[in-house]
Structure 1
């Protein structure tokens, strides 16, 4: 009881400032041309190309607390950092971009623990998973690209942020996931948009180095467990192809395909229909294993797995509520690299993943409230999820039914007038696992909170 009171006290003492994040992944193109003004001849000379460029950035404070009442263990961390970007103007359709970030460990508990059950899993992710004791040298080159745009389409080459269902920045830490490669966005069709690219390097969230695609697979698990052994190096690339079709004014279809040579092929489909106040959505994901030597996963080559997810949502002016379900359709788990992005399924809420789980049956209810008339950009989210799955014990060659329950209170807002560049996110989470839980990290209930303050300029 005493530990519960301490945790609640920590929440009340946190100032209510943070970062506004959307719990659901947005299916949009990278650097979407619909979100920026475009004048191909904005600059008329090489000099004006740079003079008319613009600088932007973000200053972020990020604080986390994790309490395990039963074991009476506590982990906490406060990170402070920023990002700075410079993009030239357009000159004959060309634009250059460069940007980087830095992070400082202002204060934290011991982040170097190798005890996987009580490891400061989330607090480590504020800094550098590869070197958790490093508190100062935490900078990274994040963007370095050249972009050519013609009409409403463009091609982009270099280091960049990527926004797709399975590959995305997952930007709730200090350093989002960034990718190196080539991206093309074609948007000349009346209702059709095509985009895709190839990437050979990634700097995963919560790391500072740029590494090969193969090196990044399983990186989080290795470093959370203190495994510093060298991964198997294979020259593989990540291929992405997206197609988006507006069927009519009420219905949209999205298809994303991911091909990772010697790892897997994934086909993601989403169909959504909306007619006020109802929205209905369905997702279907098919995966085929390609890892013949099982270097990167335990999924045998040619083995298939599939998942379906659905949503029914009621949308009112000041509140929205949805019922969501995700169901595995095969005996094998869906395997994808956590280092590349969050789950895109309708049931997803922060701190809850179904990737890698056997026999998934997940249900969630999401309630979003906008209670203030004079604060349009304030959202209070109350989310609950229950995921049933099979825990596989390799040593005993059997499986048991387990459950992971989670309740989250997610407060997000942007300020206005003189404070319009300031935003916050305040996330509070309770995780309770039931059954014969083999994963040691989830052996007992966990109370977790996160506070993010962003100032954009």
Structure 2
């Protein structure tokens, strides 16, 4: 697999390095408009990443740890008559971890966090964890680009969610266009490679790679490999007004499954540092929600969901202080495949999500401070998330009790001889606020849990 997935990368890199192997006189006579010049003048990026993750669960439940190290290579040609080609991949090694195949003895629950550093489909694989992440052809026209192939995008619903070793990738055709203060983004996607996997899946097969939770009737969900969907149509428009108002409108249509619409407005108030924002999300099932057999569908036929939220804060060059709120109504579960990206809510904090729930009240306070001279920044997040009771299976897909969450994130960028290296230390504690009925399956990896993350990145 490693040879197969990296052959294209090696080919591009050999072509890109050919300039250094040519005699100086020959290099000087190359036509700058030639295809060869586009390869010679291309850009190569190299990345290395180390990740230590530790989960300290409630006393009596299994604790876990993992050490992952990996590296990646990407090459992109220079422009040739408006065209560019790019290819990139990444490899990962498990260099020392708990037994991630062994469930907790008391609850029979599997590991949740550390397994995501590797291949969640094969936790015993420690050496052959590699993926061809990008392989695309891009065309530039004025302030417009169109990319076709494997690539990485960032939208409210499908995004990198890069909280493990590598981000989520997509395959399809993607457009970015800018005109004055308006930006259009969108395209058609037919493949996804979720974070923590090494394979590429069609749209239907990508739904259910992660744990599936339970159906509204309380039975185990069974939609993995049963969703009939070939494509996602996704588009967004963002406009910046002269008065400091930014408006975003996004729509995501997933064939035969669901449609989701997002409207968000963020406002900076005059010359002050104050800002506010509001967001609304409306979602409804399409046809049978993915499968005519409702025991194997992703979203129940006729299901709708409504979410709305707001933020207010104060921000200058180095400080950002905000208070955030989000509400998912009791109308139904808000659903978005966790394989595709993280929540777009103002109240999102890394290492937990509110996807899969209805009747949610979430509040979150966040403080971020940058120390530019010290090349250092810190973020503190405090959140309270009131969820439906764990026995309310209609609105609680993952059996998660209400919880409080504390995030402390410290990042440092090295200079001098270690320029290009950065370090991040993230501590997360999730406290139990809802009733677990003395059943630890509602506790392990969810509440009364501390998470420790140390990440080192180096790129050039």
Q: Which residue of 2 aligns with 1:52?
A: 41
1:297 touches 1:335 (CA, 8 Å); kept in 2?
Answer: no
Q: Which residue of 1 aligns with 2:141?
A: 150
How many residues align? The count is 412
Per-residue Cα deviation, 1:13-53 (whole angstroms, up to 9, x for no partner): xxxxxxxxxxxxxxxxxxxxxxxxxxxxx941011011111
Deviation at 1:324, TM superposition (A): 0.3
Is 2:341 the partner of 1:341? Answer: yes
1:70 touches 1:444 (CA, 8 Å); kept in 2?
Answer: no
Is 2:411 the partner of 1:412? Answer: yes
2:263 touches 2:279 (CA, 8 Å); kept in 1?
Answer: yes
Residue 317 and residue 47 in structure 1: after superposition, are their counterparts in 2 closer, same or farther (change >3 A)? closer
Choose between structure 1 and 2 for higher RCO, CA contacts under 8 A separated by at least 6 residues: 1
Is 2:278 the partner of 1:282? Answer: yes
Deviation at 1:392, TM superposition (A): 5.3
State how far apart, in whole Å, the 2-side matches of 1:433 and 1:454 are: 33
Deviation at 1:297, TM superposition (A): 4.8
State how far apart, in whole Å, the 2-side matches of 1:206 and 1:70 are: 28
Q: Which residue of 1 aligns with 2:459?
A: 456
Is 2:242 the partner of 1:252? Answer: no
State how far apart, in whole Å, the 1-side matches of 2:429 and 2:321 are: 20
State how far apart, in whole Å, the 2-side matches of 1:289 and 1:107 are: 43
State how far apart, in whole Å, the 2-side matches of 1:382 and 1:412 are: 12
Deviation at 1:319, TM superposition (A): 2.7
Residue 131 and residue 397 in structure 1: after superposition, are their counterparts in 2 closer, same or farther (change >3 A)? closer
Query: 1:308-457 alignment to 2 at 5 Å?
Result: 308-370=308-370, 372=371, 374-375=373-374, 377-391=375-389, 393=391, 402-437=401-436, 439-441=442-444, 444-457=447-460
Q: Which residue of 2 aligns with 1:139?
A: 130
**Counterpart pick for 2:66 among 73, 77, 96:** 77
Deviation at 1:72, TM superposition (A): 5.1
Deviates more, 1:436-445 or 1:355-364: 436-445
Tell me how large the CA RMSD over aligned residues is: 2.7
Q: TM-score, normalised by structure 2?
A: 0.84
Residue 373 and residue 93 in structure 1: after superposition, are their counterparts in 2 closer, same or farther (change >3 A)? closer
Query: 1:154-303 alignment to 2 at 5 Å?
Result: 154-187=145-178, 189-221=179-211, 231-232=225-226, 234-275=228-269, 276-292=272-288, 293=292, 294=294, 297=297, 299-303=299-303
Residue 298 and residue 227 in structure 1: after superposition, are their counterparts in 2 closer, same or farther (change >3 A)? closer
Higher alpha-carbon Rg: 2
State how far apart, in whole Å, the 2-side matches of 1:76 and 1:398 are: 28
Deviation at 1:135, TM superposition (A): 0.2
State how far apart, in whole Å, the 1-side matches of 2:395 and 2:87 are: 51
State how far apart, in whole Å, the 1-side matches of 2:236 and 2:264 are: 11
Q: Which residue of 2 aligns with 1:121?
A: 112
State how far apart, in whole Å, the 1-side matches of 2:230 and 2:246 are: 33
1:232 touches 1:295 (CA, 8 Å); kept in 2?
Answer: no
State how far apart, in whole Å, the 1-side matches of 2:324 and 2:245 are: 19
**Counterpart pick for 1:93 among 72, 77, 82:** 82
Residue 325 and residue 66 in structure 1: after superposition, are their counterparts in 2 closer, same or farther (change >3 A)? same
State how far apart, in whole Å, the 2-side matches of 1:314 and 1:213 are: 40
State how far apart, in whole Å, the 2-side matches of 1:99 and 1:328 are: 38
Deviation at 1:318, TM superposition (A): 4.1
1:358 touches 1:391 (CA, 8 Å); kept in 2?
Answer: no
1:290 touches 1:300 (CA, 8 Å); kept in 2?
Answer: no
Deviation at 1:122, TM superposition (A): 0.8
Deviates more, 1:353-362 or 1:284-293: 284-293
Per-residue Cα deviation, 1:359-404 (whole angstroms, up to 9, x for no partner): 010000001123x4622x4211111111101135378999999411
Deviation at 1:290, TM superposition (A): 1.3
State how far apart, in whole Å, the 1-side matches of 2:198 and 2:89 are: 11
State how far apart, in whole Å, the 1-side matches of 2:381 and 2:140 are: 41
Deviates more, 1:144-153 or 1:415-424: 415-424
Residue 316 and residue 247 in structure 1: after superposition, are their counterparts in 2 closer, same or farther (change >3 A)? closer
Residue 145 and residue 380 in structure 1: after superposition, are their counterparts in 2 closer, same or farther (change >3 A)? same
1:95 touches 1:147 (CA, 8 Å); kept in 2?
Answer: yes
